[in-house]
Amino acid sequence: MQTFAEELDLLRSQGLYRSMRVINGAQGSHVELDGKRVLLLCSNNYLGLADHPALRRAAVFGAALGTGSGASRLVSGTMALHVELEERIARFKGTEKALVFNSGYAANTGIISALVGRGDAIYSDKLNHASIVDGALLSRADFHRYPHRDMAALERLLREKPGSGRRLIVTDGVFSMDGDIAPLQQMVQLARQYDALLMVDDAHGTGVLGATGRGTAELLGVMDGVDIHMGTLGKGLGSCGAYAAASTEICDYLVNKARSFIFSTSLPPAVLAPSVAALDLVDSREGKELRDRLAANVALFKGRLAAAGFDTMGSETQIVPIFVGPAEATMRFSKELLDEGIFVQGIRPPTVPAGSCRLRCTIMATHEAADLEAAADTIERLGKKLGVI
């Protein structure tokens, strides 16, 4: 049996060893990393709200109510701000009710393992987030995975492996490593045809996509066709936590059955208040301007990469992967970019399959066009030097 030290050495030799980089200060378009000012090109802070003055003020207001909630939601940890945020999320998503979880991981594992169990069936895209996979495994339901965005394969599974109980189709709205979008219109049709629930994890679409920032389902015109809208508060909305927005019946069921909700101390008020402020901001004129600016920045950056000959793997959103392939080459590319003042993380197994390593660039509304132009120039120069293009 290998020791932990030997396993770590093996990871290092394979270019798969991971360590954390420490940012000093707020999450902005530029940050201080290891004492050096760099362009931040790998944050999920898509609208730049993580250091927005309105959210900062809300956090101060929340902190005045205490630094902790004191207990889980079903003991004494439900505060007025929890209820206010849940009502605000329900209005935002157009559902009867909403429920706040402590993180996206807690939401997906809790929702899925509560809604389905032995004898039930789950149908999941092969590129769904790890938290969806873990939720499916925890549920002990029959777990069926279909090739990425392959609706013919999904229908075949629904028809041939129906299970004997509930059926749950679950998908990312925006796929976090590829930046492409789930075919929700077809999925809604299949869910209705085969009497299945449809759950969409819109962590990377919430606040960003759609005419009013309601996410992927709004973009594709199927808000009413999704049974469980899951999303996070810590990406486009710049705060922390996650939610399920659904019918009153489903939310009440989750209150009674979702273990990650029942057995966790609830989020503190200094986190809840900024989330309410973020939703208000997304609904404002400023929110529309931020989404428009983000779209313009994405178009500029993608256009430059495409002209240079990079493979961006079919991205349709602010997540812009640059395909490299081998892990070691990916990490070398990432290191050389950082040496030139551009912070982009390399993505390796187990996050993505072996041989499909990539740089995962993410664009923010607060990036300046000139900075993105300069970054694209540097990426092109180093891509040629390293043989990526």
169 token code pair: 């189709």
Identify whether 247 is a catalytic site residue. no
- Residue 350: asked if its preceding bond is cis (omega within 30°), the reply is yes
How buried is residue 78: exposed, middle or buried, by Cβ count under 10 Å (0-12/13-18/19+)?
Answer: middle
Query: Tokens 């290092």 map to which residue?
Result: 12
Give dist(CA 169, CA 112) in Å, integer.
Answer: 10
Of 320, 337, 286, the closest CA to residue 36 belongs to 337
Q: Is 226 helix (H, G, I), strand (E, B) or coil?
A: coil
**Among the options 113, 176, 239, 275, which is catalytic?**
176
Active-site position among 52, 204, 229, 367: 204
204 catalytic residue (yes or no): yes
Two tokens at 69?
A: 């909630």
- Secondary structure class of 11 (helix, strand, coil): helix
Cα of 35 vs its chain's centroid, Å: 28
Strand extents, DSSP E, 116-173? 121-125, 142-146, 167-172
Q: Among residues 129, 229, 235, 367, which one is catalytic?
A: 235
* Alpha-carbon dihedral 253, 255, 256, 258, rounded to 10 degrees: 90
CA 369 to chain centre: 24
CA distance 368 to 372: 7
Active site residue 30: no
The gap between the terminal CA atoms of the chain, to the nearest Å, is: 42
> Which of 314, 327, 334, 292 has the alpha carbon at shortest distance from 17?
327
> What residues act catalytically?
176, 204, 235
